[in-house]
């Protein structure tokens, strides 16, 4: 059994990032609700507990609280932001509104002798985002960091192994944040670093088996990295009882349906459903991006239901739907407190009245690069694990405005040309594709005027797909791709390159 750290969630948007940083430090992590009883925590015997941030104020009635006994278990605790305030408040300190709220990267002056900052210099940068702060520390604590506006930017009771930071060590904007978390794990909690992706695989396999018992599972397989890794994990956990359904909605890239079929047909129980007409009929005349996503999300499930009914005679009712949902899908679909950026088809796009009553989503806590590492661990071919992501709704979110088969055919060809050109690069962008905009423009071919679509090319650099920078493709490549597209794809008269990052844009255009 691995050592583990429990992340107690008080509603902060960074809980998965905290859990991820712990995993990066080779310690297993698990997120539990802030209200988890202390007895339960004791039973789980973590080597450390981390309290997340959260939007509330500790002194407000009804704010999430924790029991004082949490701090008396002898288990080291690290409180972050709201977690720090909660620790102070619960142990008899005082938390008050800030004179000046602090947002953004701030200079932090840290006590390099404190175990949390071991090996780091006294001058640090920390991401601050708070309107309350600890104004009086509980007995036994001392200040171990401060900023210009926050006297107690971090505090510690070394004897009781209680630590807290007002800033967020889990985000990239705190450059030495991971080092601070590592210090907490190794210098305070006594971590030995026994976690790796192989351990995660074993844990996921055990959890899948426990969740589904001896029942059968239907898996929505798109051939993308996430669902492929999910399929491999399920195939290991319940080899005879996972049925993979690949829905070709007619909005796949050029030849992709056949490629996905070839990659999986002999590996897992695989059914391909050609549903182009069904999807295009539902999408006819729809141009609102969120509606498109919802329609596609629902139609996927309806096709899965039809397939599950076919399996009924052989395996009984299938209650479980497995999906390769990963963490960014969950956040951007507006789970918990976050705002809906776009309803990823497999989260916000699921219909309420589906026949599947339970979801199996083993990758829900992982980020893309971790999913790829798991795929490599599962010995999936590199062609699958290193694939660039392709969204479930496919070209539907890359055809701006209403969707027709003709538009999908135009985009497929333009996209294939662009991907072929970029595919020759030694260092490739993390995601690159073409978009069919709804802007037509005038061109000239031979002696004739044309009036065709504008294709936008997009290529981005990112690791987590939650933020990105545009990839600086060379002009000769762009020029070559543009002329091949305009010459070779009827209906296109212009090609442009998207040079926006995320934020403020998103990676997909819709």
Q: Which is nearer to ligand XMP, 60 or 352 (CB)?
A: 352
Q: Which is nearer to ligand XMP, 5 or 232 (CB)?
A: 232
DSSP three-state, residue 42: helix
Tokens linked to 75: 């288990």
3-state secondary structure 306-373: HHHHHHHHHHCCCCEEECCCCHHHHHHCCCCCCCCCCCCCCCCCCCCCCCCCEEECCCCCCCHHHHHH
Q: Which is nearer to ligand XMP, 22 or 330 (CB)?
A: 330
Q: Which is nearer to ligand XMP, 271 or 341 (CB)?
A: 341
* Shortest separation between residue 342's beta carbon and ligand XMP, angstroms: 5
Beta carbons within 10 angstroms of residue 92's beta carbon: 12
Do 319 and 358 touch, CB atoms closer than 8 A? yes
Q: Which is nearer to ligand XMP, 175 or 503 (CB)?
A: 503
The single residue of 170, 332, 377, 510 carrying the catalytic annotation is 170
Exposed/middle/buried for residue 82 (C-beta within 10 Å: 0-12, 13-18, 19+): buried
Q: Please name which of 486, 465, 467, 483 lies closest in space to residue 475, comparing C-alpha atoms.
A: 483
The answer for residues whose C-beta is within 8 angstroms of residue 58's C-beta and 6 or more apart is: 65, 82, 85, 86, 89, 95, 132
Q: Which is nearer to ligand XMP, 174 or 333 (CB)?
A: 333
Residue 98 appears among annotated catalytic residues: no
Q: Please name which of 478, 431, 425 lies closest in space to residue 455, comparing C-alpha atoms.
A: 478
The single residue of 25, 66, 81, 150 carrying the catalytic annotation is 81
Q: Which is nearer to ligand XMP, 23 or 342 (CB)?
A: 342
* Shortest separation between residue 502's beta carbon and ligand XMP, angstroms: 5
Residue 337 appears among annotated catalytic residues: no
Q: Phi-psi region for residue 18, left (φ > 0), alpha (ψ -120 to 50) or beta?
A: alpha
CA 216, 221, 227, 228 torsion-angle sign? positive
Residues forming contacts to ligand XMP in the complex (CB under 6 A) are 293, 329, 332, 342, 344-346, 389, 391-393, 431, 465, 502, 506-508
* Shortest separation between residue 466's beta carbon and ligand XMP, angstroms: 7
Tokens 């009804």, located at residue:
62
* Shortest separation between residue 497's beta carbon and ligand XMP, angstroms: 17
Do 11 and 55 touch, CB atoms closer than 8 A? yes
β-strand partners of 128: 104
CA angle 407, 412, 413 (to 5 degrees): 105
The answer for residues whose C-beta is within 8 angstroms of residue 118's C-beta and 6 or more apart is: 112, 183, 187
Do 32 and 8 touch, CB atoms closer than 8 A? yes
The single residue of 16, 66, 168, 244 carrying the catalytic annotation is 168
Residue 81 appears among annotated catalytic residues: yes
Q: Which is nearer to ligand XMP, 438 or 487 (CB)?
A: 438
- Please tell me what DSSP assigns to residue 77: E
* Shortest separation between residue 472's beta carbon and ligand XMP, angstroms: 19
The answer for residues whose C-beta is within 8 angstroms of residue 313's C-beta and 6 or more apart is: none
DSSP three-state, residue 24: helix
Q: Please name which of 418, 346, 452, 391 lies closest in space to residue 251, comparing C-alpha atoms.
A: 391
Tokens 């985009």, located at residue:
411
Do 79 and 164 touch, CB atoms closer than 8 A? yes
Q: Which is nearer to ligand XMP, 140 or 334 (CB)?
A: 334
Which residues are tagged catalytic? 81, 168, 170
């Amino acid at each position: 059994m691995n050592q583990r750290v429990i992340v107690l969630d008080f509603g902060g948007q960074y809980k998965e990032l905290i859990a991820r940083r712990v995993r990066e430090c080779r310690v297993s992590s698990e997120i539990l609700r802030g209200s988890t009883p202390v007895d339960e925590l004791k039973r789980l015997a973590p080597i450390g507990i981390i309290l997340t941030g959260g939007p509330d104020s500790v002194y407000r009635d009804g704010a999430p609280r924790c029991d004082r006994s949490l701090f008396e278990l002898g288990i080291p605790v690290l409180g972050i932001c709201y977690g720090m305030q909660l620790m102070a408040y619960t142990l008899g300190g005082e938390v008050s509104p800030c004179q000046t709220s602090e947002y953004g990267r701030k200079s932090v002056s840290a006590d390099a002798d404190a175990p949390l900052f071991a090996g780091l210099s006294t001058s640090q940068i920390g991401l601050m985002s708070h309107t309350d702060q600890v104004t009086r520390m509980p007995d036994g604590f001392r200040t171990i960091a401060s900023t210009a506006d926050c006297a107690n930017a971090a505090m510690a009771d070394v004897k009781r192994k209680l630590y807290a930071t007002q800033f967020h060590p889990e985000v990239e904007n705190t450059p030495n944040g991971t080092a601070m978390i590592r210090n907490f794990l190794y210098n305070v909690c006594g971590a030995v670093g026994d976690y790796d992706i192989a351990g995660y695989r074993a844990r996921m396999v055990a959890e899948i088996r426990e969740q589904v018992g001896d029942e059968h599972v239907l898996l929505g397989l798109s051939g993308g990295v996430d669902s492929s890794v999910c399929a491999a994990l399920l195939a290991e956990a319940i080899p005879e009882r996972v049925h993979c359904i690949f829905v070709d909605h007619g909005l796949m890239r050029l030849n992709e349906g056949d490629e996905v079929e070839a990659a999986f047909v002999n590996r897992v129980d695989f059914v391909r459903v050609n549903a182009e007409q069904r999807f295009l009929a539902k999408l006819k005349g729809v141009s609102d991006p969120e509606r498109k996503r919802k329609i596609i999300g629902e139609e996927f499930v309806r096709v899965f239901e039809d397939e599950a009914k076919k399996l009924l005679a052989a395996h009984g009712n299938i209650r479980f739907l497995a999906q390769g949902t990963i963490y960014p899908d969950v956040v951007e679909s507006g789970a918990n407190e976050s705002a809906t950026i776009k309803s990823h088809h497999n989260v916000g796009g699921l219909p309420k009245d589906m026949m599947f009553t339970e979801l199996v989503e083993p990758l829900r806590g992982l980020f893309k690069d971790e999913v790829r590492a798991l795929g490599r661990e599962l010995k999936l071919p590199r062609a699958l694990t290193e694939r660039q992501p392709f969204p479930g709704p496919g070209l539907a979110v890359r055809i701006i405005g209403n969707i027709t088969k003709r538009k999908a055919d135009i985009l497929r060809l333009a996209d294939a040309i662009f991907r072929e050109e970029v595919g020759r690069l030694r260092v490739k962008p993390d995601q690159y594709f073409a978009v069919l905009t709804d802007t037509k423009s005038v061109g000239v071919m031979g002696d004739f005027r044309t009036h065709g679509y504008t294709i936008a090319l997009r290529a981005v650099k990112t690791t987590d797909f939650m933020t990105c920078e545009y990839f600086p493709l060379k002009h000769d490549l762009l020029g070559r791709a543009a002329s091949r597209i305009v010459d070779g794809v009827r209906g296109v008269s212009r090609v442009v390159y998207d040079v926006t990052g995320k934020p403020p844009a998103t990676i997909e255009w819709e």
